[in-house]
Amino acid sequence: MARRIQLDLVCGALLLGMACAAAAQPTMRDGLWEMTMTMDMGAMGGKMPPRTMQHCVTPQEAKDPTAFGRGMERDGQCQMIDHQVSGNTATWNMTCKGKGPKGEGARTVNGNATYGGTTFSMTNTVTTTQDGKPMTMTTNQTGKYIGPCKQ
């Protein structure tokens, strides 16, 4: 169960980070992006090794980069409470409902990102509970534009 929560949070943080970082500018560059994330699970698991993934941003996605993070909102579990943009920096606060009778997995996400056209850096702090105990995780993510998407 703990491993599944970690994987869900890693994937969600990568996509949310990409969305929020890109939203710091009206549009982003379409093409292949590489993102690297580190996660500190605190008392629940220490630091995870860096994870790197690539994502091909289509021209349509580049026109509305916030679409990346909307999947988390569309499932009805998460809601963006606050999203501010100032210059090339974005900040956000999101809450997500838990699943199951005890609401396990409910979480808040607070983050910030700085977008530089072909790069971004982002930090997210996720607060949740697992087995009735509070847990805080911090993710740091960097992204860079690589070039055109590979066909």
pLDDT at 72: 54
Q: What is the pLDDT of residue 67?
A: 53
**What range does the domain containing 90 cover?**
2-147
The per-residue pLDDT for range 71-80, each reduced to its tens digit, is 555 566 788 8
Q: Is the pLDDT of residue 145 over 90?
A: yes
Q: Which of 72-76, 95-99, 142-146 has the highest mean pLDDT?
A: 142-146
- pLDDT-derived band at 25 (thresholds 50, 70, 90) equals very low
Query: Residue 83: how many CB atoms within 10 A of its CB?
Result: 16
User: Higher model confidence: residue 42 or residue 21?
Assistant: 42
Q: What is the pLDDT of residue 36?
A: 94
* Verdict on whether the full-model pTM lies above 0.75: no
Q: How many domains does the chain have?
A: 1
For 77, 78, 150, the CA distances from 21, given in Å and listed in that order, are: 22, 18, 23
Distance CA 51, CA 71 (A): 21
Contacts of 4 (CB under 8 A, 6+ apart): none
